Amino acid sequence: MFRRGRTLYYRHTVPVDAQPLFTRIEIWRSLGTDSLAIALRRLPGVVARIETEIEHIRAMAGLPIDATLIRPYKDDSAERPIPISPPAVAIFQPDRPLTLAEAYDNYIDDPTRAWTASTREAYETSRKLAIAVIGEAVPIASLSRAHCRDLLDVLRFLPANAGKLFPKLSPREAADRARVRGDIKIISAANANSLISNMSSFFNWAVNEELLTRNPARGLRLPDPINKRDKRLPFARAQLDAIFNAPLYRGCIDGERGYNKVGNQRPRMARFWVPLIALFTGARLGEICQLDATDIRTVDGVDCIVVSLESLVGSTDKHLKTTASDRMIPVHPILIDCGLLHFANAKRNAGEKKLFDDIETGSTGSRPVAFSKWFTQFLRACGAQRSRTSFHSFRHNFRDELRAARIDHDIALFLGGWTSGSSRSAVHENYGSGYRVETLNESVRKLSFGHIDLHHLCMGSDNGVVDRRA
C-alpha cells in the first residue's frame, strides 16, 4: 500500500506472462480511505478482485488459468461455470496508465531521497524539461529510446537561459530557433549531459519501482569537446588582484548594495570572509557557508576549520559531498592575520550558532546557491570575470599551491577533501585514525601564496582595518 495525497492505494504487480495483455506491469486500486485500519480490512477483497481480473484476461487469451480464482469454492452455496467472455463489470477494465508527469512527481516526492536544496532544484529542472519535450500525459510504461534521443536532440541546441530569453517558447521551439539562427548561445555539452543524467536517474528509479522494464536513457550523452581538467580553471593572478583589491576589500560604502562602490567602510561579513577562506583552504562553497561559529576551534593546540556533519551547537543544515569531505584544515597564518579567529570568537560570544548567518537563503532556500549568484555579480563588478572561472576556481588555486609547495600527495588530498579513487577503498585506508593535526599544520604553513598581496587586509595594518560590520 501507498498514499497519494491522503488516499491509500494498493499496487499489484501483473505476472510476467500477462503483462503484454495489460500493456503495463502494475495495477493500482484506490482503497477509498485515508484510514490504515479500514484500508487493511478492504485490502483482501481488492486483491481477490484483481486476481480474478487477471485470470479472466488470461482465459480470454487462451492462456492456462487457475480456475479456482474465477469460480466459487465447493462449499459455496452455488457454483457457476467459468465465463468464456469478459465480464461487463467495470472493475475488470484496466486502470488508466500512470503518466510521465505523475511518475516524476512520485519520484521527486519520494521520502527515501534525502536531497539537498540544490540537488532537488537540479532534478526539478530535468523534470520540467522532460515533461515539456516528451509530454506530461505520455504513459510512463510506453517511454522508449526514441523519446530520449528526441530529448537529447533538443538539448543539442537548447539556448542558455532559454526560459528568460524566450519565455513564451517551449524548449523545443527555443532549440529550433537556435538551430536555424546559429548565433544564439546554447547550453554546454556538460550541462546537457547533466540534465540527461538526472533523467536517467529517474528512469532507474522507475525500473526499481517496476514502472519500466529498462532504462531507455542509459548511456545517452553528447560528446564534450572540453577536457574534464579544463572545465574549470584557477583564477589568474590578475583576477585575484582584482578580487581582493575591490572596494569590498579596500573600502566600500557598505557591505550590502554598496559593496562595489568606493567608500570608507570595511565590513567583515560573509562576503568578505567566504572568498578568503576558499582561497586558503580549498573548501567547497557549501562547506564554508554551513560552518558553525564553533567549527573554527583549537584542536591539539592548532587553530583549525572543522568540516564535519557533527555540530557542537545542534545545527541540522549540514551536508557533505563525500565521506572524504569530513576533515580538519589548520587555519593559514594569513587568515589569522586577517582576523578570522577574532571574527569567529566574536560570533561565539554573541551567542550566534552559524558563522555566516548573514548569508540569505534566496528563492531556492540554499545559502550556497544564493552566495554563488552574488559572487558572479561581484566578479563582473570588479572586472575579474573570465571564461571557465567561478567560485570553484579557488579550489583549483589551492590545489596548485599544494603542488607548488610539494606537499605530500595523500596529505594534499586530505586537506582538500578529495577522494583518491580506488586507493581510498583499499584495505590500508581503514587502519589508523588519520593525520595528526601538527602534521597537517606543517603542510599548511608551507603554502606561501606569494602571488597575491593581502597585507592591506591584516589586522593592525597601516590601512587601519577594523573588525566590524557595516
Task: In whole angstroms, give the CA distance from residue 130 to residue 155.
Answer: 11
Task: In whole angstroms, give the CA distance from residue 74 to residue 377.
Answer: 80
Residue 194 falls within a domain, yes or no?
yes
> What's the mean pLDDT in 460-464?
52
Residues 138 and 177 in one domain: yes
Residue 288 falls within a domain, yes or no?
yes
Cβ atoms of 346 and 467 within 8 Å: the answer is yes
| Residue ending a domain, choose from 229, 250, 268 | 229
| Residue ending a domain, choose from 44, 68, 92 | 92
Residues 413 and 327 in one domain: yes
DSSP string computed for 326-368: -EEEEPPHHHHHHTHHHHHHHHHHTT-SBTTTTS--TTTT-HH
Residue 195 falls within a domain, yes or no?
yes
Residue 401 pLDDT class (50, 70, 90 cuts): very high
Task: In whole angstroms, give the CA distance from residue 279 to residue 305.
Answer: 13
Domain interval for residue 76:
2-92
In a 3-state reduction of DSSP, which class is residue 86? coil
DSSP string computed for 25-53: SEEEEE-S-S-HHHHHHHHHHHHHHHHHH
Residue 247 falls within a domain, yes or no?
yes
Residue 464 pLDDT class (50, 70, 90 cuts): very low
pLDDT at 430 > cutoff 60: no
> What's the mean pLDDT in 347-356?
95
Residues 49 and 105 in one domain: no
CATH of the domain at 175: 1.10.150.130
Using the Cα atoms of residue 198, residue 199, residue 204 and residue 210 in order, give the sign of their dihedral: positive
Residues 259 and 225 in one domain: no
pLDDT at 310 > cutoff 80: yes
Residues 287 and 168 in one domain: no
Distance of CA 166 to the CA centre of its chain: 26
- Quick one: how many helices (H) and strands (E) in the chain? 18, 6
Residues 217 and 322 in one domain: no
Q: pLDDT of 103-153, one tens digit each?
A: 999 998 887 777 776 788 889 999 999 999 999 999 999 999 999 999 999
Residues 302 and 274 in one domain: yes
Place of cell 503484454: 20
Which carries the bigger pLDDT value, residue 374 or residue 14? Answer: 374
Residues 272 and 408 in one domain: yes
**pLDDT averaged over the chain?**
85
Residues 207 and 350 in one domain: no
Percent of the chain surpassing pLDDT 70: 85
Residue 164 falls within a domain, yes or no?
yes
Task: In whole angstroms, give the CA distance from residue 290 to residue 422.
Answer: 29
Residues 447 and 342 in one domain: yes
Which carries the bigger pLDDT value, residue 384 or residue 95? Answer: 384
pLDDT at 88 > cutoff 60: no
Which carries the bigger pLDDT value, residue 195 or residue 75? Answer: 195
Percent of the chain surpassing pLDDT 90: 56
Residue 463 falls within a domain, yes or no?
no
> What's the mean pLDDT in 445-454?
93
Cβ atoms of 198 and 104 within 8 Å: the answer is no
pLDDT at 465 > cutoff 70: no
7-13, strands of its sheet edge to edge: 2-4, 7-13, 26-30
pLDDT at 346 > cutoff 90: yes
Q: pLDDT of 311-341, one tens digit each?
A: 999 988 888 888 888 999 999 999 999 999 9
Residues 271 and 349 in one domain: yes
Residue 156 pLDDT class (50, 70, 90 cuts): very high
Domains in the chain, number: 3
Q: Which runs of E-coded beta strand occur in 42-133?
A: none
- Top mean pLDDT of 33-47, 49-63, 366-380 is at 366-380
| Residue ending a domain, choose from 212, 229, 246 | 229
Residue 465 falls within a domain, yes or no?
no
CATH of the domain at 286: 1.10.443
Q: What is the pLDDT of residue 422?
A: 47
Phi, then psi, of 215 in degrees rounded to 5: -90, 110
Residues 225 and 247 in one domain: no
> What's the mean pLDDT in 240-268?
95
In a 3-state reduction of DSSP, which class is residue 135? coil
Residue 468 falls within a domain, yes or no?
no
pLDDT at 470 > cutoff 90: no
Task: In whole angstroms, give the CA distance from residue 202 to residue 13.
Answer: 20
Which of 328, 211, 233, 229 lies closest to 281, judged by CA?
Answer: 328
Cell of 414: 586530505
pLDDT at 92 > cutoff 50: no
pLDDT at 232 > cutoff 60: yes
